[in-house]
Amino acid sequence: MEFTVREIAAFLKGEVVGNQDITINNVSKIEEGKPGTLTFLANPKYNAFIYETKADVVLVNRSFKPEKPVAATLIKVQNAYEALASLMDLYVQSLPKKKGIEIPSYISANSKHDEEVYIGAFAYIDEGVVLGKNVQIYPHVWIGRGSVIGDNTVIFAGAKIYPETKIGKNCIIHAGAVIGSDGFGFAPQENGEYKKLQQIGNVIVEDNVEIGANTTIDCATMGATIVRHGVKIDNLVQVAHNVEIKENTVIAAQTGIAGSSTVGSGCVLGGQVGVAGHIKIGNNVTFGAKTGVKNNVKDNSVMMGEWAMDARNFRRVYAVYKNLPELYHDFYTLKRNIDSRS
């Protein structure tokens, strides 16, 4: 589809600096801009590219002031990154949506679905499953007995939804995700073997949640593993049994959260963060990549390091750590001088 600069600016409530009649049919990165595309500038480290980009239109923050002439037409908005997200939403919503039921697929007679549903080939919808309005189920998805999928939720190819899972409205479940698999629970026996603890709980995913490809969320041993409203989870994340992740928390790839831990609302977990079991993390906490979380964390903390510590202290510690070879050399030289005088 094509949009004029005038139409885009009206949608974003932005101010145009340049030609309002240019037509845009795609987007591009500012450093790889092409004619006929729109790009954006939100990070000052990319400022230099705005003077040489081949993109016809650039979204910029209202505060942006060019240091020299810019060939592209500018659309000034309050927040360029948020404006781009809104614009891409508009584009996706304009695309035709799949509808209907493809053959072969299995749909239990005891399940319920709206007429506008899409169910792809080789999908399996078990008994008692309820699919809301405009739900899209892509090929090779398996949805287990008694699960409920809310309105406008999309489940991409190959995802597996175990029995009794509850997924809210406007969610996106990416390819290969597994929701509701057994938690890792085993009781040690006197003979050294381990007896499986049956996992009889479920998973509850609230509205507006996105779950990345090949992420796994285990069902609860008893009760529910809960992912609250607005949570965004990247690819290859492991969420263990009885975990609760509260509203609007974001979790980057390869993070692992062990059983019965609670992550507060508005938190940010960088890549490869590891959270030990039965940990309570407060609200608005940020963890740098590869942080190891072994103790409870208070609200509004910023933590880094293999043994999670306040980010400011971590930077001080690291400043010393990276200079250890020189410090050791100085210490050894000083010790040798002292010993030679004694």
d(CA 32, CA 9): 22
CA 283 to chain CA mean position, Å: 17
Tell me the backbone φ, ψ of residue 197, rounded to 5 degrees.
Answer: -90, 115
List CB contacts of 18: < 8 A, sequence separation 6 or more: 5, 57, 72, 73, 74
Closest alpha carbon to 277 in 264, 290, 295, 265: 295
The label of the residue with tokens 């020299």 reads 68
Q: Reply yes or no on whether 140 is catalytic.
A: no
Is the Cα torsion angle 305, 306, 309, 315 positive or negative in sign? Answer: negative
Distance (Å, rounded) from C-alpha 212 to C-alpha 323? 39
What whole-number distance in Å separates Cα of residue 337 and Cα of residue 19? Answer: 75
Q: How far apart are CA 316 and CA 159, in angstroms?
A: 44
Question: Within a 10 A sphere around the Cβ of 141, how many other Cβ atoms?
Answer: 24
CB neighbours of 299 closer than 8 A, spacing ≥ 6? 264, 282, 283, 284, 285
Lookup: tokens for 28? 């591009």
Element (H, E) at 304: strand 302-304
Q: Of 229, 241, 278, 329, which residue is the catalytic one?
A: 241
Query: Distances from the Cα of 158 to the Cαs of 73, 192, 213, 269, in angstroms?
Result: 43, 37, 10, 26
- Distance of alpha carbon 285 from alpha carbon 281, whole angstroms: 7
Active-site residue list:
241
